[in-house]
Each structure stands twice: as structure tokens, then as C-alpha cells.
Amino acid sequence: MKVGGSYTLPLLRQRAHELLQDPAILARCMPGCEDLKKIGPDEYEMQMKVVVSAVQGLFAGKVRITDQKPPESFRLIVEGSGKVGFMKGDGLLTLVPATVTTGVSILGSEGTEVRYEGDVQVGGTLAGVGQRLLDSTAKMIIRKFFEKLAEAGAETEQAAIVP
């Protein structure tokens, strides 16, 4: 399944890039992330509990970041598996300076558009019976991730500015 889209963060590009590499931030923003451990350079181990309506799945997996071109782009590979199935997402994230049109940013209107484009493979029960809802749920999870990232970004900016 192809996924693609963009989300504008009220953050400068450098900062947005840093946040996207910060395990603590990632752990906080990935919906259902219960544990994220660094196991190597740009490689993390992760436990996730994804809850969507009544559906819940425990996934154990890995997050890898490759093709680093800070602060412009990087490739994100997320793999996870659990009883309900397994998934692998492989996407290129491109960060482009942009103007924030909605929401409040302490930076005024300067922001970063994160464009993502990639492929999600799903297997097991989820793939066999979840087709109808995969697209809308994947979009929802990505949306939630960026919302939380924007939130976290705003907080850290605040912390940096307020002594």
C-alpha cells in the first residue's frame, strides 16, 4: 500500500529534523509506543501497542533511519510483528521550509513541511481482513504522530526560550 502526504510543523527545519531523530520524542509521538531503545546508530528497538477502536495489537519491532541528508531528508524503516500480523513501512521523509498557515507557532509563521512518501506492507490477519480500513487507519496514525510531534516541538521550543 502506497502512503503519501505532508504535514506542516511549526518548527524550523533544523529543529524538525532533530526532533525526528530523537528517540525520546519518537517514543512519545508514535501512537502506542511503549518502549523505544537505541540499539545502534540510527537503529532502535520498539514495543508498540496500537489501539484503534476495539482493535488492539502488540507489536515488537525495529526502527531504522538511513540515507541521512540532514536537515533535508532521511529514510525511515519501521518493522513490527505481533499476533495479529506484521507490518513494514519504508518511506522517504523530505523536510521543506514552509509557511505555517494554521495553528499557533511561537516562531511566527516559519515552519517546516514534512513530506512523506512510501510503501506499507501488511501481513497476517490484519492484511487478510483489514483491507477496508487500512488506508484510513494508516492516515489517522500518521496524522496523530505529526500532531503529537508539533505539540512536543512547541513544548521544547517553549522550554528553550523561557529560562
Partner 1 sequence: MATTITKTETLVGKRIRRKEDPRLITGTATYVDDIQMPGMHHACILRSPHGAARIRSINIKPAINQAGVVAVFIGKDIEAVGPVPCGASLPGLRVPAHSILAKDRVYYVGHPVAVAVATDRYIARDAIDLIEVDYEPLQAVSDPEKALEPGAPAVHPEWPDNTAFTFHQEGGEPEKAFKEAEVVVKQRITSQRLVPTSIETRGVVADYRSAEKNLTLYSSTQIPHLLRTLVAQMLGLAENRMRVITPEVGGGFGSKLNVYAEEALMGFVAMKIGKPVKWIESRRENFLCTIHGRGHVDYYEIAARRDGTVLGLRLKLIQDLGAYHQLLTPAIPTLSVLMMPGLYKFRNVIADIVGVFTNCVPTDAYRGAGRPEATHGIERMMDLLALELKMDPAELRLKNFPGKGEFPYLTATGLSYDSGDYAAPLKKALDMVDYHKLRNAQRDAKAKGRLMGIGISTYGEICAFGPSPATPAGGWESATVKIEPSGKVTVLTGTSPHGQGEETTFAQIAADELGVSMDDIIVLHGDTSIVQYGIGTFGSRSTAVGGPALYYALQDLKAKIKKFGEMLLESDDVTCSGGQCICNKTGKTIEFAQIAAASYRAMKLPPNTEPGLMATHFWEPPNFAFPFGAHIVVSEVDRDTGQVEIQRYVAVDDCVNIINPLLVDGQIHGGVAQGLGQALCEQAVYDENAQLITGELMDYALPKASTMPYIETGHTITPSPVNPLGVKGVGEAGTIGCSPAVVNSVVDALSHLGVRHIDMPLTSEKLWKLVRQGGQA
Partner 2 sequence: MIPQNFEYSAPTSLKEALALIAKGDAKVLAGGMSLIPLMKLRLAAPEHVVDLSRIADLKSVHEDGKGEFPGGALHLGALATHFEIESSALVRSKCPLLAEVASNIGDVQVRNVGTIGGSTAHADPAADYPAGLMALEAKVHLTTAKGERTLPIDQFIVDALSTALKPNELVREIIVPVETRGTGFSYQKLAQPASGFAVVGVAARVRKSAGKVTFVRVGVTGLAGKAFRATRVEKLLEGTSGSAADIQKAAAQAAEGVDANTDLHASADYRRQMTKVFTARALTQALSRAD
Applying CB under 8 A, which residues contact partner 1?
Answer: 83, 85-86, 121-125, 127-129, 131-132
Which of partner 2, partner 1, none interacts with 122 (beta carbon under 5 to 8 A by kind)?
A: partner 1
CB of 132 to partner 2, least distance (A): 5
Which of partner 2, partner 1, none interacts with 124 (beta carbon under 5 to 8 A by kind)?
A: partner 1
Nearer to partner 2, 118 or 130 (CB): 130
- For residue 96, give the nearest of 3, 13, 11 by alpha carbon: 13
Which of partner 1, partner 2, none interacts with 52 (beta carbon under 5 to 8 A by kind)?
A: partner 2
Residue 145 to residues 29, 98, 129, 139, Cα–Cα distance (Å): 5, 19, 25, 10
CB of 131 to partner 2, least distance (A): 5
Q: Kindly list the residues in this chain that would bind partner 2 in the complex (CB under 8 A).
A: 5, 52-57, 83-84, 125-126, 129-137, 139-140, 143-144
CB of 144 to partner 1, least distance (A): 25
Which of partner 2, partner 1, none interacts with 53 (beta carbon under 5 to 8 A by kind)?
A: partner 2
Nearer to partner 1, 29 or 48 (CB): 48
